[in-house]
Amino acid sequence: MITNTQKSERLYEEAQKYIPGGVNSPARAFRSVGVTPRFIEKADAQYIYDADGNQYIDYIGSWGPMILGSNHPVVRTAVEETISGGLSFGAATEREITMAKLVCELVPSFEMVRMVNSGTEATMSALRTARGYTGRNKIIKFEGCYHGHSDGLLVKAGSGLIAEGGSPDSAGVTPNCAQDTLTARYNDFESVQKLFELHKGDIAAIIVEPVAANMGVVLPNESFLKQLREICDVNKTVLIFDEVITGFRLALGGAQELFGITPDMSTFGKIIGGGMPVGAYGGKREIMEVVAPLGPVYQAGTLSGNPVAMAAGLAQLTYLKEHAEIYGHLNHLGQKLYGGLADIVKMAKVECTINQIGSIGTIFFTGEAVTDYTSAKKSDLKQYTDYFLHMLNHGNYFAPAQYEAMFISNAHTCKDINSTLEAAAKFFHV
């Protein structure tokens, strides 16, 4: 039982004097669970350690990037070897070609790719490219899907924004910015068809998380992605898979490989940087050729493709490619953890729904199936908070909000999962 959190509390107080809410990204503020965020000292493999010296099994993994576990020797060594040669040149390097070739080999939809510094930049740039390519203005996104914090995408945008309560649309976004963003319901193809009827010839792109992971994990139903592919083909609309979470996680080639559906463009982040700030967008050659300096769509980045970030990402992706068995291990642990939780809530006769695919999953405190934003929002947040606090105090570092995914890394073991399930069983009194 973890009881000593004095140092985190002291740091949080200090942080709030200088940083809005004490954090550099809202999801880590623990506001929706009403406790002091743990200030982190270090992380190693599947464990994370706070400033008071408490150890937790880490089910956040920096919100996805640490698929090999933290401080993986292969990634660390690659970074260490690279930094002595200079941190950034703002110039072309051979390493960027290696990275581009590798991701084009791994990702079915990639013929060309541009590296950026975050998932937000990747989605924002992909949409600009799709608009430039089609000469159209409107885009469709889905309620509860998050695509980073650029103005036009902060519309019904899930996770941090749901957890904060109130309006999901951010203040400071002008109506003009939001007016070209149409929203449809996840897993509801009819809602997409209606938008195409209403805005015939105006829709540049559909952007979708092929498995939604920012309203909690929500799986696409069997025909959903296929129908999106078809309607985009018919209307010459660019289909964009936002694989910032699913990329290199559900399979080496992401959700698009797993489901066998090839989008026109895709966006990546998180895992692709191995823990460094990296994003990427890419797709069909014909589309990517509209990007500057080849074409008229401007997009740039002083630190894009910098050697250290590329070294970390390359090391992680190469390791994943050379160790295909990792995905078997992740799936096995995923089944064990989420299956184990499902057994526990069943025994306890509590109303919960567990959505899972591979190493990501979410336990929703509602008995109803969770298939979209509306059903996700039926979760009892008070129960999630109680569960979260219990698990945290028993050494499990989960996302501090209902509408997030849990992440398992390759460093986790069956023993870790058993220990987590034991803590959960205690919470549910079984």
Residues involved in catalysis: 146, 242, 270
| DSSP symbol at 170 | P
Q: Which of 8, 181, 214, 410 binds ligand PLP (CB under 6 A)?
A: 214
| Min separation Cβ 120 and ligand PLP, Å | 3
In this complex, which beta carbon is closest to ligand PLP, that of residue 150 or of residue 227? Answer: 150
Binders of ligand PLP among residues 34 to 63 (CB under 6 A) are none
In this complex, which beta carbon is closest to ligand PLP, that of residue 145 or of residue 370? Answer: 145
CA distance linking residue 39 with residue 7, whole number of Å? 8
Q: Determine which helix (DSSP H) or strand (DSSP E) holds 310, and give its type and residue range.
A: helix 307-322
Per rule CB under 6 A, count of chain residues that contact ligand PLP: 14
Which positions from 266 to 285 touch ligand PLP by CB under 6 A, shown as an x/- string?
---x---------x------
Query: Does residue 379 bind ligand PLP (CB under 6 A)?
Result: no
In this complex, which beta carbon is closest to ligand PLP, that of residue 255 or of residue 344? Answer: 255
Q: Which stretch binds ligand PLP (CB under 6 A): 99-107, 114-122, 321-329, 418-426?
A: 114-122
Which positions from 225 to 254 touch ligand PLP by CB under 6 A, shown as an x/- string?
-----------------x-xx---------
- Sheet order of strands, 265-268 included: 112-116, 279-283, 265-268, 238-242, 203-208, 138-142, 181-184
In this complex, which beta carbon is closest to ligand PLP, that of residue 12 or of residue 146? Answer: 146
Q: Which stretch binds ligand PLP (CB under 6 A): 33-41, 144-152, 318-326, 422-430?
A: 144-152
| Min separation Cβ 367 and ligand PLP, Å | 27
| Min separation Cβ 413 and ligand PLP, Å | 26
Query: Does residue 148 bind ligand PLP (CB under 6 A)?
Result: yes
CA distance linking residue 128 with residue 136, whole number of Å? 10
Q: Which of 46, 70, 118, 362 binds ligand PLP (CB under 6 A)?
A: 118
Query: Does residue 119 bind ligand PLP (CB under 6 A)?
Result: yes
Residue 323: which residues within 8 A CB-CB, separation 6 or more? none
**Residue 23 burial (CB < 10 Å; 0-12/13-18/19+)?**
middle
| Min separation Cβ 216 and ligand PLP, Å | 12
Residue 131: which residues within 8 A CB-CB, separation 6 or more? 137, 139, 204, 205, 297
Kindly state the greatest CA–CA separation across the chain: 62
Query: Does residue 209 bind ligand PLP (CB under 6 A)?
Result: yes
Q: Which of 280, 329, 387, 349 is nearest to 32 (CA)?
A: 387
Which residue has the closest beta carbon to ligand PLP?
Answer: 119
Query: Does residue 143 bind ligand PLP (CB under 6 A)?
Result: no
CA distance linking residue 398 with residue 288, whole number of Å? 38
Q: Determine which helix (DSSP H) or strand (DSSP E) holds 225, and give its type and residue range.
A: helix 224-235
In this complex, which beta carbon is closest to ligand PLP, that of residue 143 or of residue 242? Answer: 242
| DSSP symbol at 282 | E
In this complex, which beta carbon is closest to ligand PLP, that of residue 240 or of residue 345? Answer: 240
Q: Determine which helix (DSSP H) or strand (DSSP E) holds 364, and give its type and residue range.
A: strand 360-364
CA distance linking residue 135 with residue 202, whole number of Å? 9
Is there a contact between 276 and 292 (Cβ–Cβ < 8 Å)? Answer: no
Token pair in block for residue 226: 């296929």
Is there a contact between 208 and 243 (Cβ–Cβ < 8 Å)? Answer: no
Binding residues for ligand PLP (CB under 6 A): 118-120, 123, 146-148, 209, 214, 242, 244-245, 269, 279
